[in-house]
Amino acid sequence: MSAATLTAPTNAPDARIPLRAHLRHTGALVRRNLLWIRQDPESMFDALLFPIVFTLLFVYVFGGSIGQALGGGQDQYVQYVVPGLMAMMGMNMAMGVGTGFNTDFNSGVMDRFRSLPIGRGSVLFAKIAVELLRMLFATAVLMIVAVLVGFEITDWPGLLASVGLSAVFGSSVMWVFLTLGVVMKSAQSVQAMGFLVLMPLQFGSSIFAPPGSMPGWLEAFTRYNPLSTLADAARGLMTGGPVAHNLWITLGWSVALTAVMAPVAIHKFRTKS
């Protein structure tokens, strides 16, 4: 990526850089990140292996017993869990953007970017754009595996809407992890914090099992868990059922997280010493 690609009129704050320049800078940084993935294809292993491992693990280990509780068997559980796994995809990809951002800081790459006359937000938007592309790749792998284990796609528009909803929510969570990537001292710290946040949210939700069989206190937590509303909205879109209530709650969470955490992440990025 040449310096000319990232040239702006002045070395001014973001507010003085025109929108067109912001978009040009973001596009150049997206290209830089994609070229880095091309040079290091191992960085795509998580996007490739995560949907395969989780789909096979939950379908063949828990599918029989939970499927019976749902009134069917393993085939019934496949229809239940696949939309939930799609909802979970954005959360897991979000943790990767935080650890990668922190690694770039510790390697000095971000110091070089901050010395250039580019919009500071462009660096973060480019990170999110590339991570969303990785999430779409992981979702495609998930659906291929899901079809192989018996998932029936009955509503293609609903499937595409579910992918879009998961991408919107996942991008909002990425702002949280970008902030952690700036403020935490190491990638290991970001990863540890991510697991502490993600594990209760993922397993204390309706992604893997219906909340009706959970203890009262955990069921109450599950009802207010944004991953539950995302999973239930995706389930309704893909396999039929109520959608509107869960859809609006998920969009509300996405807007709130982005509105709060995006300015924080950009500010921390600008002021990090």
Residue 14: its pLDDT value, please?
57
Query: How far is Cα 148 from Cα 130, in angstroms, rounded to an integer?
Result: 28
Q: Check the CA dihedral 14-16-20-24 and report its sign.
A: negative
Query: How far is Cα 169 from Cα 226, in angstroms, rounded to an integer?
Result: 9
Residues near 103 by Cβ (< 8 Å), separated by ≥ 6?
187
By C-alpha distance, which of 124, 131, 117 is closest to 34? 131
Q: What is the token pair recorded at 148?
A: 């192989």
pTM: 0.86
Q: Specify the residue for token string 């559980």.
A: 77
Residue 255: its pLDDT value, please?
96
**pLDDT tens-place values along the chain, 273 residues long:** 444 444 444 344 555 677 777 778 788 888 888 888 888 888 788 888 989 999 999 999 888 888 887 777 888 899 999 999 998 887 777 887 888 888 877 777 776 776 766 777 788 888 899 999 999 999 999 999 999 999 998 889 999 999 999 999 999 999 999 999 888 888 888 888 888 888 888 888 999 988 887 888 888 899 889 999 999 999 999 988 889 999 999 999 999 999 999 999 888 888 876
